[in-house]
Chain A
Amino acid sequence: MNIPKTKARLTDGLVRQNIVLMSGLLIGPVIAGATDFESAAAISVVFSLVTFFSVAVCRLLPRRMVYTVRIIAYALIASALYIPAILACQFLLGEEVIVRAGIYLPILVINHVILSKTETRFFHLSYFQMLLDALGYIAGFVIVCLLTGIIRDILVNSAIGSLSIETGLSLPALETTFGGFILVGVLAGICRAIYNKLTMNNEQLAINKEPVGDDGNRPAEET
């Protein structure tokens, strides 16, 4: 197994093409649904199960099937897989959390990792590479969703789930949709700033590591 390639597959969806903070492909459930840690956990569980197994099944559909029909098949497969996923979530987190997450759980069946990425990216990879790639995207979403839920839970309820954290600060507006938009927007900006800084540093590092010629000059950049 090519380890650097495998690592690149996992980190691509995790950071560089994160579907919440970098490409914004799936932001609605994080903004309006992940209002506390438990709701964020419910969204993460359902999204992970539905997306991973849907992508694994959808990749097996014949490519000669026209896209108009294929997109319907993707949505139907995801909504059929939603049934075991919601039952698993109910078992893990309880009925009350599912009720609190509301419509943000069922709408996860129409997400662009399944509907678009399968088409534009996953079909061009081997089955194993595709599964790794999908895992990277799922992990990227789960981390941001949980992070948003935790930040809101701390700043609104002074707690993370059932664990009480006394902050002496209460910002109930963060629980609302507008609070979610502003919080996710700020997180996206911070994430991009850090990513840009790191990639610039890495590029600088790569330039510094380039071999120096006999004349003491570095080789000219390829154009």
Chain B
Amino acid sequence: MELFASLFNAALLAIFLQNSIFERALGPNILIYASRKREHVIGFSLVIIYSTTLSSIIAWVLDRNFSSWEYFGIVTPLLYILVISFIYILSLILVWRFLPKVFGKIKTYVHLSVFNCSVLGALFLSSQFGESLIGYIGFGVGTGLGFFLAGYLLYIAHPRLNSELVPAAFRGLPITLVYIGIISLSLYAFVGYATR
């Protein structure tokens, strides 16, 4: 029960308080691309959940054993990229071998959904916030769910944000960023905001 509570807490932290998009702005470009189609929102989110969760487990092993090393901070991106690449290549081989139909569907965007700031950033955030292996896993799952929440909110607003009602110069990217900013502002209610 305690394990489940830790997992749930870490996931909630990643979904709301440290949301990869609304709070950390990790990969909004990928989110904007994915939010054009419902299948992409679901596909990207599932791939991100899968890669962040598995990568977090290996990242936990690395952090636990090497974090006391003086130069660990400098080589961490290289180590995390090696971890993500290993998961990516192994998973692609397995999907291609055993689920060829799924492979056909995801092959056009799988590289974008694995090699992006959301996945790499989630590993860095896990090392800051996830205290145990369960915390790392929970944070990995929560990052993907948080991405899905952001993607879905953007998907339902997509037609309006690109409609002729928006002035031409602001249509598309600028108004989408303002929209994400407003949702991000509303999520600040969870943590509160104090001026200095």
* A→B interface (CB under 8 Å): 22-29, 31-32, 67-69, 71-72, 75-76, 79-80, 82-83, 86-87, 103, 106-107, 109-110, 112, 115, 172-173, 176-182, 184-186, 188-190, 192-193, 196
Complex Cα–Cα for A94 and B98 (A):
51
Q: Is B121 an interface residue (CB 8 A)?
A: yes
Residue pairs across A and B with Cβ atoms less than 8 A apart, 12 shown, are: A24-B28, A26-B29, A28-B27, A28-B117, A68-B89, A76-B82, A110-B117, A110-B120, A182-B181, A185-B177, A188-B173, A189-B167
- Given known pairs A27-B29, A68-B89, A76-B82, the reply for A176 and B177 (CB within 8 Å) is no
Q: Is B76 an interface residue (CB 8 A)?
A: yes
The chain B residue with its CB closest to the CB of A180 is B25
Q: Which residues of A contact B75 (CB under 8 A)?
A: 83
Complex Cα–Cα for A28 and B176 (A):
14
The chain B residue with its CB closest to the CB of A192 is B169
Complex Cα–Cα for A79 and B78 (A):
5
* Bitwise interface map of B from 165 to 191 toward A, beta carbon under 8 Å scored 1, else 0: 001111001111110111011001000
Complex Cα–Cα for A64 and B129 (A):
42
Whether B182 pairs with A178 at a CB distance below 8 angstroms is yes
Closest chain B CB from A52 CB (angstroms):
17
- Given known pairs A173-B193, A196-B168, A196-B169, the reply for A25 and B76 (CB within 8 Å) is no
B26, B88, B168, B170: the one within 8 Å of A28 (CB): B26
The chain A residue with its CB closest to the CB of B26 is A28
